[in-house]
Structure 1
Amino acid sequence: MRTHVVRPEELGETEIQRWRRLQEADPALGNPFLAPEFTLGTARFRRDVRVGVVEDGSGIVAFFPHERRPGGVGHPVGFGLTDLQGIVADPGLDLPARELLRACRLGVWDFDHLIAGQRMFAPYHQVVRIEPIMDLSGGFAAWEAEARSLAPKTHKTIRYKERKLGRDVGEVSYEFASADPAELTRLMRWKSAQYRRTGRTDRFTRPWIVGLLRHFHETGFGVLSVLKAGDRTVSLHLGLRSGTAMAGWFPAYDTDFSRYSPGMVGHLALAEGCAEDGLTEIWMGRGGKEFKEWLKSREVPIAEGRVARATPGAAWHWMRHVPLNRMRDAALNDPRLYSYADRALKGYARARRRTS
């Protein structure tokens, strides 16, 4: 078995088609974050993106997209932005993870949204959580009926708020795929305000992330959905589309309309829009949002951890990141600590706004 490392733009059409066939062979690989478009798009804005191409006697059996940082430290492509990670490989691939890293000249590869079912990385899992998925394969009506049966009061409340929004503000309308760049700018502005409001790092202060979203929107890989009441935009969502799968990515709403739950109304509209456009599933991303419990149809295990070889770069990476990650995991796994941390971040954000 032989592995060579290339820049994504060096892949030819034959390799890209092979990548797609490997995705099609395994339902877990259908997520847009594992599609070639995500790696190729990210590589337009980051020069550290590489792809390990694994071959045996029969041809290409795997693609390993990754970012290479100084010291041989590796990350998944779009690290910090991606909700699913892994190797795009033939299901029968038998390749030790450390051998893959050696061939890619990496000392360490850390992950936080890895498909837990990938055997080669299983010994390196530190935490396993779940990613919820909305299953639309039976159509929107079937999915909504199931969601209504699981939480009838929640469903009734959201539909009531949708009707009230229409009465108070204007007729509610929905555009599944808007090409308007001004709406994307609005989404990023709202999202930046949300990050500041909650004490999180504002991703849109990084020009490469702004450029990446614009690129995906312009090429159609990113689907921008718009919910309006009258002539007012009240909710937006940018997701990624590949085949019949949608990956939820950046939702945002106008806080002036919070009492109408525009985000939840938008999620229902998104499900209907996806089903009408031939999509059969929406991956909602790992996270502790309660509304996902109501919307989800099934779950996929997602792992966090690191693969390391005995190199100086791997040792440096361990000292810098692992102790902090363990403290964060403790907070995520304890509802009380999570609540304290969330309140502390929001308090910090309020104090920062008062002094700015």
Structure 2
Amino acid sequence: MRSISNGTHITIHRAGQLDASLSRAWHKAMDESPDFANPFLAPEFAAGIGGCRGGARVAVLHEDGEPVGFLPYERNSFGVGRAIGLGLSDCQALVHRPGITWDTGQLLRACGLSVFEFDHLVAEQQPFGPYVTGTFPSPVLDLKPGDGDYAQWLRATYPGLAKTTLKKERRLGRDLGEMRFVFDERDPRALRTLMRWKSAQYRRTGRMDRFARPWIVDLVDHLFQVREEHFTGVLSVVYAGDRPVAAHFGPRSRTVFAAWFTAYDPEFRYYSPGLIMHLRMAEAAARDGVRLMDMGRGDKEYKDWLKTRELRVAEGFATRPHPVATAHRLWRRPVRGLRNTVLAHPTLREPADRLLKTVGTLRTSARTSSAGAAPRAR
């Protein structure tokens, strides 16, 4: 137990070991503010990370004996902290009851942290404000349930996209077999197909292959099994005949659905299966009670087509005076700044994207050639 001020203290827990009463209090805080309805802010996501990474913790703020705030984070042996799931999570926050505030320096001290890094912090987190280095748009889609079928919903919601998308779907159905969409697919083989497609996409585009990291595979496998009110892992699949052509895996809460991992069979890329996937998901999620589809920070053409508005998310480094915090900030901030500069300017972003794709093509070709070569004599 770490004292913060009169009547307030903090306890530290392993992320996967919160008792039922603390989980209920966390869920209650999520329910009391739309800022915290995102499934990445649920204790189930923190617990999933905690089962895969040993440094995952939760700081619980208590006021007059009642748990009123929850900060999930990861800590390394040097006292460097970061938002839980940094690099994977598209929403980060200290989830708290209305009216609760905190002193960030004292919070870090209670957590044993010299620095706390974040990159998708919700804008409501005012005590972290002095440590924000930049804010960025995060596109979202406000969902309205339709009374008709998918085609009617699509024409009413996206009249500009409807004709082209429906035409491509019909053509794909004629070429491969009847189109079928499953919003909540429970077949783990489909999840493996998605991971295989996504790994190939990462390599093809020169990005880091997340599914080459066993802990991320384990995390997704675990979250696929979680089916709770505030967090459910949802696998969605578009089939043409009996063949999957596009898939998505992401979490949902009662009212928010987070777009996360989407991929498709590149053999059918001319049918725009990724766009078909997102449109089908949006319509099905709306029917299932979801009110907001969060597409995450980042510039993508399909996000501009689909979004109805944008939220703001922040990145930065909350610190307290410590040599480790200074070193970490000096190391990480220029890297983040360079990346953000490239992403913010099309004249830089497009050549960088082409370079990554060229590297990905060369890397994939080299791997294929190596796999096909005869083994050398030792």
Partner of 1:11: helix, strand, or coil? Answer: coil
Q: Deviations over 1:47-81 (max 9, x none)?
A: 11000011111511100000001211111111111
CA distance in 2, matches of 1:286, 1:147: 24
Q: Deviations over 1:13-68 (max 9, x none)?
A: 11100000100111010000001110011111111100001111151110000000
Pick aligned residue for 1:31 from 26, 38, 42: 38
The answer on 1:242 being equivalent to 2:253 is yes
Partner of 1:18: helix, strand, or coil? Answer: helix
The answer on 1:340 being equivalent to 2:347 is no
The answer on 1:227 being equivalent to 2:238 is yes
Structure 1 residue aligned with 2:301: 290
Structure 1 residue aligned with 2:103: 96
Q: Deviations over 1:266-309 (max 9, x none)?
A: 11111121122222221111110111122112221111111111
1:150·1:294 contact (CA, 8 Å) conserved in 2? no
1:316-335 aligned at under 5 Å gives the runs 316-335=327-346
The answer on 1:262 being equivalent to 2:279 is no
Structure 2 residue aligned with 1:218: 225
Pick aligned residue for 2:63 from 48, 56, 76: 56
Offset of residue 342 of structure 1: 0.8
Amino acid aligned to 1:50: R
How high is the TM-score relative to the length of structure 2?
0.90
Structure 1 residue aligned with 2:213: 206
Q: Deviations over 1:116-165 (max 9, x none)?
A: 22111112211111111221244476999897578633332111111111
Q: Deviations over 1:197-237 (max 9, x none)?
A: 00000011111110111111122321101100111110000
2:16·2:46 contact (CA, 8 Å) conserved in 1? no
CA distance in 2, matches of 1:146, 1:175: 17
2:238·2:244 contact (CA, 8 Å) conserved in 1? yes
Structure 2 residue aligned with 1:182: 189
Structure 2 residue aligned with 1:65: 72
Q: How many residues align structurally?
A: 356
Amino acid aligned to 1:297: T
The answer on 1:114 being equivalent to 2:114 is no
Aligned residues: CA RMSD: 1.9
Amino acid aligned to 1:200: R
2:17·2:47 contact (CA, 8 Å) conserved in 1? no
Question: What residue ranges of structure 2 are gaps of 5+ in the alignment?
Answer: 1-7, 368-378
My pick for the range that moved more, 211-220 or 142-151, is 142-151
Offset of residue 320 of structure 1: 2.1
My pick for the range that moved more, 42-51 or 135-144, is 135-144
Amino acid aligned to 2:68: V
Offset of residue 349 of structure 1: 1.3
Amino acid aligned to 1:281: L
CA distance in 2, matches of 1:151, 1:242: 25
Partner of 1:70: helix, strand, or coil? Answer: coil
Structure 2 residue aligned with 1:161: 168
CA distance in 2, matches of 1:153, 1:137: 18
Partner of 2:99: helix, strand, or coil? Answer: coil
Question: What residue ranges of structure 1 are gaps of 5+ in the alignment?
Answer: none
Pick aligned residue for 2:283 from 269, 272, 279: 272
Partner of 2:259: helix, strand, or coil? Answer: strand
Structure 2 residue aligned with 1:171: 178
Pick aligned residue for 1:314 from 325, 328, 333: 325
Partner of 2:16: helix, strand, or coil? Answer: helix
Amino acid aligned to 2:273: P
Structure 1 residue aligned with 2:366: 355
Partner of 2:74: helix, strand, or coil? Answer: strand
Look at both structures and tell me which one has the larger radius of gyration over its CA atoms: 2
Partner of 1:339: helix, strand, or coil? Answer: helix
My pick for the range that moved more, 263-272 or 2-11, is 2-11
Assess, with a 3 A threshold, how the Cα gap between structure 1 residues 295 and 113 changes in structure 2: closer, same or farther.
same
4+ runs of 1 displaced by more than 3 Å?
A: 137-153
2:146·2:153 contact (CA, 8 Å) conserved in 1? no
1:117·1:301 contact (CA, 8 Å) conserved in 2? no
1:123-134 aligned at under 5 Å gives the runs 123-134=130-141
2:151·2:166 contact (CA, 8 Å) conserved in 1? no
Partner of 1:194: helix, strand, or coil? Answer: helix
Amino acid aligned to 1:4: T
CA distance in 1, matches of 2:140, 2:280: 16
Amino acid aligned to 1:94: T
The answer on 1:6 being equivalent to 2:13 is yes
Q: Deviations over 1:71-94 (max 9, x none)?
A: 111111111111011110123122
Structure 2 residue aligned with 1:42: 49
CA distance in 1, matches of 2:354, 2:56: 36
Percent of counterpart pairs with the same letter?
44
My pick for the range that moved more, 112-121 or 147-156, is 147-156
Offset of residue 313 of structure 1: 1.6
Amino acid aligned to 1:96: D
My pick for the range that moved more, 133-142 or 326-335, is 133-142
Partner of 1:10: helix, strand, or coil? Answer: coil
CA distance in 2, matches of 1:142, 1:99: 54
